[in-house]
A and B are shown apart, each in its own frame.
Chain A
Amino acid sequence: MRLHIKVFLWFWLGVVVVSGTLIGLTELTHSRAQDDRLWQEKYGPRVDLWARQETHILRTQGSAVLEEYVGSFQADPGVLNYMFDASGHEVFDREAPKPVLSIVNALMQSSGWTQHVDPVERIIAERAIDANGTPYVVVVDFPEPSVLSRPLFELLSADFSGRPTRASAVRLAAVIGVAGIFCFVLARHIASPIDRLRLATKKIAHEQLGTRIDRDVLNRGDELADLGRDFNGMADRIETLVTAQRHLLADVSHALRSPLARLNVALGLARRHSGPGVAEHLDRIELETERLNTLIGQLLTMARVDSGVGLERWSVFDVGTLVDEVATDADYEARARGCVVAVSGERNCLVSGAADLIRSAVENVVRNAVRHTADGTSVDISLERRAAAGRPSVVISVRDHGPGVADKIVPRLFVPFFRGPHADNNQNGTGLGLAITRRVFEVHGGTATAANADGGGFVVSLELPLYVEGGVGQPHSDTRSTPEEHGNAITAA
């Protein structure tokens, strides 16, 4: 849930709970005591009167009439009227609850007319003596006052009748509503700078290095303002570092390549003036220059990927088309050895990333496969969609039909400058190709793994998360029009 909504709901709930508790507590202490007093003042004398009447009726008219009389005000909900004789026996043989019995026992010990009031249990008992001098105990057990029914609504109700009315509901809603507005504003006050910080962080992560927190947040004077200032300090630093890194890489590239460029031209000149025996050595120099140049290029690519400098041109593109293009070129190269490069599987796999880096990463793997596959065999590239843990991805598997690699060194193939046992007949490799490939895929949230294939050969699997926003289907719908519409498309001028 959004922080704003969360903070808002918690505050609101807090306000409602606290006010509810306050009302409840007030009712339970202050109001209850007052209520008890009122109750006692009202019913104490009445019970006295009832006790006299009941003993009189019992003596003069018998228990049947008394039962009728008692039953008449038993109609009041929850009010129970008991009568005990001197032996502690209930006159109508009814079961009385424990608190009533204990009060009765206590009263029997006393003498004369005595009234006992128990405000907690809401029981009033009176020891009565009829005209014959026979003692009885009359007990009236009132229902307990409900905590919720009356007091809470008394506070809000319009007519003080003890029952909720339309007006009281409106008041209740007003209280919750005002609390709601207040809490909403408060939550907004807390959450909005966090949203801005988050947005700014996101922008920085997407290479918009000039992003800073604005004055609205910085002028708050609280911890969030401090956080904003710290953020700006950090952003300054990152911007400086990345810019410096970018310049350094460009400078290093230039500085290393300029001598190589001169060397190449000088070599060309030397070739022109050299005798026949020297050509072989010049070829060697040219080859080594070429290797040095490739190595510089790959080191720079590695540095660019690591520092995120190469990721400025981020776009959404179809990795299927990219693989097709790489495969077409590799196929051209492979034909010289009677090999083919075949692509199968999914198309229209949209991914988001730096297309040129991904192209060279895939190219590294495919060219490696072409180099290692046996003469006259095929390099099979397959694209497959997967949805592991709800995250859709595309896996590009590149399989050659070569000698494979000893299992124990497979994991080390991705380590920079690791030279496999076949490196001797592979002098063109710099030992960086697969390392670059892995870095590129990792930077894009994917993986690069390798294994020996079942039935011989070697397979490299490259996984890349699919672009999800906006769907991964066909990028544009094919609205092909009928040829009749443009029947005379080509005419003589």
Chain B
Amino acid sequence: MTSAPRHLLVVDDDTELCQLLSEYLLPEGYDVESVHSGVEGVERALSGDHALVVLDVMLPDVRGFEVLRQLRAHSRMPVLMLTARGNEQDRILGLEMGADDYLPKPFNPRELCARIEAILRRSGNERGAIDLRIPGDLVVDDISINKASRLVRRRGETIELTTVEFDLLEALVRNAGSAIARDELVRTVLNRPFSPFDRSIDTHVSNLRRKLGPGPDGLDRIKSLRGVGYQYTLRHPSGAQEK
């Protein structure tokens, strides 16, 4: 990890919680700025001063989702949503709207740290520009994936993916034709230990499916294998090819 503290933005109307969080996160290497309203949140998040936003769903002025929508219109900066526990809809909605991860509130601060770490590691890949292991484009059917620019194109047309969705697609395509277990996807893509009954990976997969659209033969590109995991379906035995 870098020695210079990374700037985080926490958008939550609970001032005391913000205070405790900044106290907790400082020794972990994070410098926390807190704002307590949605409007302010959008404004500060778009300033480009922060590495990541921790965004609460329940805000006094505008819903957290609205903040996320406005933010996503201009920026792909990582967002971790804090949702009410037991409210599946909030979780799904958040991930659908492009949040990188979510954490039900109340949360364990260690868990928060781990999630922030994981997200930053992923987006660090993005900023770090080139992953030397795989030099060229991955091409499957009419989809091409450029590792360097982290761009995904379908018949030349760019598809907007979040960092999680990109990593997920890459993992699936690299193993195209064979299944990847859900717990493995959670570990490698979400960078966290698999816990049963956490269905966020499924939400990410269904978002990815929706964004990619059906394959050239009209079927889903990503197949769910019950009790196993997911598989990028190959229409051709030669597999995904690199150039």
CB of B85 within 8 A of CB of A257, answer: yes
B178 within 8 A of A: no
B241 within 8 A of A: yes
Question: For window 229-243 of chain B, which residues contact chain A by CB distance below 8 Å?
Answer: 234-236, 238-243
- Please tell me which one of the listed residues B16, B23, B86, B235 contacts residue A297 in the complex, with CB atoms under 8 A apart: B86
- Please tell me which one of the listed residues A263, A360, A490 contacts residue B241 in the complex, with CB atoms under 8 A apart: A490
CB of A492 within 8 A of CB of B139, answer: yes
CB of A492 within 8 A of CB of B241, answer: yes
When distances are taken between beta carbons in the complex, the residues of chain B under 8 Å from A261 are 14, 17, 105-107
Question: For window 261-310 of chain A, which residues contact chain B by CB distance below 8 Å?
Answer: 261-269, 272, 286, 289, 293, 297-298, 300-301
CA–CA, A268 and B141, complex, Å: 49
The verdict on A257 contacting B106 (CB below 8 Å), with A265-B17, A269-B23, A356-B89 known, is yes
CB of B235 within 8 A of CB of A264, answer: no
The verdict on A313 contacting B89 (CB below 8 Å), with A489-B141, A490-B235, A493-B137 known, is yes
CA–CA, A156 and B216, complex, Å: 76
When distances are taken between beta carbons in the complex, the residues of chain B under 8 Å from A269 are 20, 23-24, 109
The verdict on A329 contacting B197 (CB below 8 Å), with A262-B17, A265-B21, A485-B217 known, is yes
- Please tell me which one of the listed residues B107, B197, B216 contacts residue A486 in the complex, with CB atoms under 8 A apart: B216
CA–CA, A258 and B105, complex, Å: 8
Q: What is the total of A-B residue contacts with beta carbons within 8 Å?
A: 125
When distances are taken between beta carbons in the complex, the residues of chain A under 8 Å from B242 are 492
Nearest Cβ in chain B — how far from A270, in angstroms?
Answer: 10
- Please tell me which one of the listed residues B20, B84, B86 contacts residue A262 in the complex, with CB atoms under 8 A apart: B20
Nearest Cβ in chain B — how far from A359, in angstroms?
Answer: 8
CA–CA, A324 and B141, complex, Å: 30
CA–CA, A85 and B234, complex, Å: 119
- Please tell me which one of the listed residues B21, B107, B235, B238 contacts residue A483 in the complex, with CB atoms under 8 A apart: B235
B226 within 8 A of A: yes
Looking at chain A's contact residues, the main secondary structure is: helix
When distances are taken between beta carbons in the complex, the residues of chain A under 8 Å from B240 are 490
The verdict on A481 contacting B17 (CB below 8 Å), with A260-B106, A490-B239 known, is no
A487 within 8 A of B: yes
CA–CA, A24 and B227, complex, Å: 81
B171 within 8 A of A: no
How many positions in chain B have a CB within 8 Å of any CB in the partner chain?
49
Minimum CB distance partner of A482 in chain B: B217
Question: For window 95-118 of chain B, which residues contact chain A by CB distance below 8 Å?
Answer: 105-110
Minimum CB distance partner of A326 in chain B: B197
The verdict on A493 contacting B183 (CB below 8 Å), with A257-B106, A264-B108, A265-B21 known, is no
CB of B236 within 8 A of CB of A490, answer: yes
The verdict on A486 contacting B109 (CB below 8 Å), with A297-B85, A481-B217, A493-B243 known, is no
CA–CA, A203 and B222, complex, Å: 38
B140 within 8 A of A: yes
CA–CA, A436 and B88, complex, Å: 16
CB of B196 within 8 A of CB of A330, answer: yes
Convert A341-354 into 0s and 1s, putting 1 for each residue whose CB lies closer than 8 angstroms to a CB of B. Answer: 00000000000000
B144 within 8 A of A: yes
When distances are taken between beta carbons in the complex, the residues of chain B under 8 Å from A297 are 85-86
The verdict on A325 contacting B105 (CB below 8 Å), with A250-B58, A301-B86, A489-B234 known, is no
A253 within 8 A of B: yes
- Most chain B CB inside 10 Å of its own CB: which residue of A264, A326, A483: A264
- Most chain B CB inside 10 Å of its own CB: which residue of A263, A269, A298, A489: A489
Nearest Cβ in chain B — how far from A308, in angstroms?
Answer: 15
When distances are taken between beta carbons in the complex, the residues of chain B under 8 Å from A239 are none
CA–CA, A265 and B139, complex, Å: 45
CB of B218 within 8 A of CB of A481, answer: yes
A477 within 8 A of B: no
A-B pairs, 8 with minimum CB distance = A489-B235, A329-B196, A268-B109, A261-B106, A356-B88, A260-B106, A265-B20, A297-B86
Q: What would 7 more interface pairs be, CB under 8 Å, given A297-B86, A479-B218?
A: A257-B105, A261-B17, A264-B109, A300-B86, A325-B202, A481-B219, A485-B217
- List 21 contacting pairs A-B, 8 Å CB cutoff, sorted by A: A254-B58, A254-B84, A261-B107, A264-B109, A268-B108, A325-B199, A325-B202, A326-B197, A332-B194, A359-B88, A363-B197, A479-B218, A480-B219, A481-B219, A483-B236, A486-B141, A486-B217, A486-B235, A490-B141, A493-B137, A493-B243
